[in-house]
Amino acid sequence: MSAKRFARSSSSSAAPRAVVDTNVFVSGLIGSLNATAIIAAFRAREFILVLSVDLLSELERVLSRPKFRARLNEREIEELATLIKHRGLLVEPSGELDLCRDPKDNWLLEAATEGEADMIVTGDEDLLVLGEFADIEILRPADFLHRLRAAAS
C-alpha cells in the first residue's frame, strides 16, 4: 500500500478509516451540524481520515472561491487545512476507476480503495447512489455519525 501519514498520530488501529468528501468539510465550516460534528470527531481522533492530493487540491480550490471566502472565517479554514495535513493518511491512488456516473468523483473511490477505507462520507448523490463499492460503504454525514457513535458505545 502506498499510504503515508503526514505526521505520527496516536490513533488506535481499530479506528475506522474514512474518505470525507470536500462538500462535507465545506458544509462543516459553514455550520451544518452533522458536518461540523464530523470535523469534531476527526479532531478527537474517532476516525482516520484517508485523503489524496486530489482531495487536498479540491478543498483548496473550493475554499478559495469568492462565495465561500465571503462566508467563512479565514482562521477556521487554516486550522482545518493544517489539521487535515497533519493527521490525514495520504494515499497515492495508482489506478483509474470509471464507476461513478460523474467521472469527476472517481478519485474518491480510488483514494478509498488505496487507503483501505471502511467508508466514504459525502453529500454527493452521484456517489451515494452507489451505496457501496468494494466493501466500502458510501454514507451521508448523518449515517456516518451514527456509525461512529454506535461503534463507540
Q: Which tens digit of pLDDT belongs to each residue from 120-131?
A: 999 999 999 999
Give the Cα separation of 143 and 151 in Å (integer): 12
Q: Tell me, what DSSP letter sits at residue 8?
A: -
> Could you report the per-residue pLDDT of 5-34, keeping only the tens digit for each?
333 233 445 899 999 999 999 999 999 999
Give the Cα separation of 90 and 52 in Å (integer): 5
Please give the class, per CATH, of domain 15-152: alpha beta
pLDDT band for position 45 (cuts 50, 70, 90): very high
Give the Cα separation of 127 and 140 in Å (integer): 10
pTM higher than 0.85: yes
Question: What b-and-e string marks burial along 66-94, b requiring 16 or more CB atoms within 10 Å of the CB?
Answer: eeeeeebeeeebeebeeebeebbbbbebe
The residue to which cell 454527493 is assigned: 124
> Could you report the per-residue pLDDT of 68-106, keeping only the tens digit for each?
878 888 888 889 999 999 999 999 987 677 767 777 888
